[in-house]
A and B are shown apart, each in its own frame.
Chain A
């Protein structure tokens, strides 16, 4: 049985209450940090742990914290990004629903390390039940003296507020989130300045994902070095994976980074294989934004090595043959799924969620959606694939925020790896309305690339 750090007590009845959470060793990290460590000690442990941001970009959390500007007499803020809305990702919701105190504990320790007096949890607006759960947990922690003035007699004061999100995917982008938190329209800001210098209300701000913050708890309990022993290479610790799609046992799994993808999909400890005895066709490994890979490339890298669930291994081969860890939204497609339809569906999402500020993303996402609609509905011409390729290339890298890239990558990867299927759709418009392209050669073992 693999080691678990975040979901160890997930099945304990009443773990959502402070009482049970403390019985199971909860809030040890707060006591340890506030009573025996300085804020810099906490930062040092997080740096040692090698923890990387769990929200998608995988930026080292310790380094992000150390960039926080600390001018005298200016407030600083920690904002937890709980605006989880990446299609295919539902790990933060799971954590907040069942073990809300893990997040609150992580928030207290992280806020202490960063020296903030006020911290916010920005929760996706659709997650009203989770907002209530977190508010309840905060109230409990406050009654127990774990929040508020002079926490555990350490002299450290902290208030945590839960803020319901504005109901847009874009509000998960950190600067749009800050705009939204300030009560404005959730448009991403132009960087620089980065939030570490000028964030919420123009003050230095750190924005971290729910899972990153919750991971600080085991790091403080066991020490950064212990945490760094788990995992592989620069992918340390455990990661929550939201497994969805055509899997026999979809759900949220905590894995040690470095687990082979094949084992994750097929072993009974995790997803238990593809549902209904079908064959695997493709996988989106890290949420809808990351490149989709066909079965042969997700199980093995282009060099023929077995692909692992780690930041490096998933990215092996760049975008030519690799993908990204992203937020851990693992979507499996079986042989009966249509990649064109799926790409259309993702693009529809990005078109709907584009904030409309900058022209390539605003106009490009709509254009791509219309072309993909035509391909899916048998009304496209062969040049449309090249046009689509051109549009995604023109969006990527030319936008204010990463939403443009996130919209472009799935389209690029689908064309790169599944061009046959797009062409079949265009050349057989009638047939494509009644049946799917099927597995084709997408699971055939690839010859390792020659050096």
Chain B
């Protein structure tokens, strides 16, 4: 068994070979390579068991099944839920078929999604916004009324706006993993399906706030932060505290001296690995509650970096903290080099 575990599979994605553990999905193999060849994922979330396969944006073409069985797969496959085989060859951005399919999926995702990004709280950190910018068409061919819903409060801290929901099911998996019994799920079918809780009840769990972090769009938002600021005017700083319920590893989003919101720490694929509790998220909004670590590392493409820790206007918390100042200088130097 131990010997088997050591044997790795070689998979080639867009001509780039990579060695991965057996049981790795094509998407995760691509993430090990990194860069442009990583398929976008709107529903897959590595820390949520069972997620993925639904949005179909990560479709790729398997042009060679494996070394043993080189036949190509007949259809495009969801890379997040298809495991690699030894010798598999995958085409993502090198296949026009894949790019066409992805473009059509983006179109489908957008037909019932309100295109009101200017007044959406998620703008700037919305994965659907990025995806449609990269793959979308300039014009919509959809001429009908979009489906609309009333806003729903899930407890006093979370708001659900189904208009924006793309039914990725991530929040459902969060709730499934957190709570006994099903209090939060999907009702109805097809394009009339909606995320809902049991008779609009608050889902009473210390960790339910994480549904906000996993939502790829602006469907689930933090009511303590809603419309306080555009995200690109805030500056994220990683911080921690000794929390009895969770890891206490968070990102604080500053505007001036004020902490506007607290979220989990997101990696480059926007995934949180350490879910945080509601107390950390909603109730600890003073700098004195936290030990500051360093400015959050951000993708240089992100709109948040456009205004990121400018040396001429360092945020006040950085000004008073020598360690952060040092980290800030480092990060600034790094951004300069990347320019």
Contacts and interface: CB of A to CB of B under 8 A. Distances in A.
Contact of B104 (A353, A365, A394): A394
Interface stretch (A110-118, A254-262, A397-405, A438-446): A397-405
Interface residues on chain A, size class: 20 to 34
Interface stretch (B185-193, B261-269, B287-295): B185-193
A213 B57 CA distance: 39
A359 B105 contact: yes
Interface string A160-171: 000000001010
Interface stretch (B31-39, B106-114, B306-314, B331-339): B106-114
A387 B209 CA distance: 41
Given A359-B105, A364-B108, A398-B76, A352 B189 contact: yes
A350 to B, nearest CB: 9
A204 to B, nearest CB: 19
A360 B191 contact: no
Contacts of A387: 141
B81 interface: yes
B104 A352 contact: no
B54 A357 contact: yes
A210 B107 CA distance: 40
Interface string A364-376: 1111001000000
A367 B167 contact: no
Nearest to B108: A363
Nearest to A169: B189
Contacts of B81: 190
B188 A360 contact: no
B106 to A, nearest CB: 9
A236 interface: no
A354 B190 contact: yes
A190 to B, nearest CB: 4
A370 B55 contact: no
A361 B54 CA distance: 10
A367 B57 CA distance: 19
Contacts of A357: 54, 167, 169
A352 B52 CA distance: 23
B68 interface: no
Nearest to B75: A397
A356 B177 CA distance: 22
A359 to B, nearest CB: 5
- The DSSP consensus for interface residues of chain B is loop
In this complex, which of A357, A370, A394 has the most chain B Cβ atoms within 10 angstroms of its Cβ?
A357
B249 to A, nearest CB: 32
A370 B142 CA distance: 10
B193 A362 contact: yes
A356 B186 contact: yes
A265 to B, nearest CB: 34
Contacts of A355: 189-190, 193
Contact of B105 (A352, A360, A367): A360
Contacts of A362: 108, 167, 190-191, 193
Contact of A367 (B52, B111, B186): B111
Contacts of B185: 185
- The DSSP consensus for interface residues of chain A is helix
B141 A354 contact: no
B191 A398 contact: no
A402 to B, nearest CB: 11
Contacts of B231: none
Contacts of A351: 190-191
Interface in B53-70: 53-57, 59
A358 interface: yes
A406 B104 CA distance: 18
Given A190-B53, A354-B189, A357-B54, A363 B109 contact: yes
Given A353-B190, A365-B191, A370 B101 contact: no
B112 A363 contact: yes
Given A190-B78, A359-B55, A354 B191 contact: yes
A390 B101 CA distance: 11
B58 to A, nearest CB: 11
Contacts of A190: 52-53, 78, 81
B76 A397 contact: yes
Contacts of A353: 189-190
A411 to B, nearest CB: 15
A413 B195 CA distance: 35
Interface string B54-97: 11110100000000000000011010010000000000000000
Nearest to B101: A398
A360 B110 CA distance: 11
Interface in B102-157: 104-105, 107-109, 111-112, 141-142, 144
A364 B56 CA distance: 13
Interface in A375-404: 387, 390, 394, 397-400
Given A387-B141, A397-B76, A398-B101, A360 B108 contact: yes
B96 to A, nearest CB: 14
Contacts of B78: 190, 400
Contacts of A358: 53-56
Contacts of A168: 189
A310 to B, nearest CB: 23
Nearest to B168: A359
Contacts of A364: 108
Interface in A1-33: none
In this complex, which of B52, B107, B169 has the most chain A Cβ atoms within 10 angstroms of its Cβ?
B107
B141 A394 contact: no
Nearest to B191: A366
A366 B54 contact: no
A21 to B, nearest CB: 39
In this complex, which of A352, A362, A394, A400 has the most chain B Cβ atoms within 10 angstroms of its Cβ?
A362
Contacts of A360: 56, 104-105, 108
5 contacts: A190-B53, A359-B55, A360-B108, A394-B105, A398-B101
Which 6 residue pairs across A and B have the least CB separation, nearest first?
A356-B193, A394-B104, A354-B190, A366-B191, A190-B53, A363-B108
Given A360-B56, A394-B107, 13 more contacts: A190-B52, A355-B189, A359-B54, A362-B167, A362-B193, A363-B191, A365-B191, A366-B191, A387-B141, A394-B108, A398-B101, A398-B105, A400-B78
Interface of B: 52-57, 59, 75-76, 78, 81, 101, 104-105, 107-109, 111-112, 141-142, 144, 166-167, 169, 185-186, 188-193
Interface of A: 168, 170, 185, 190, 351-367, 370, 387, 390, 394, 397-400
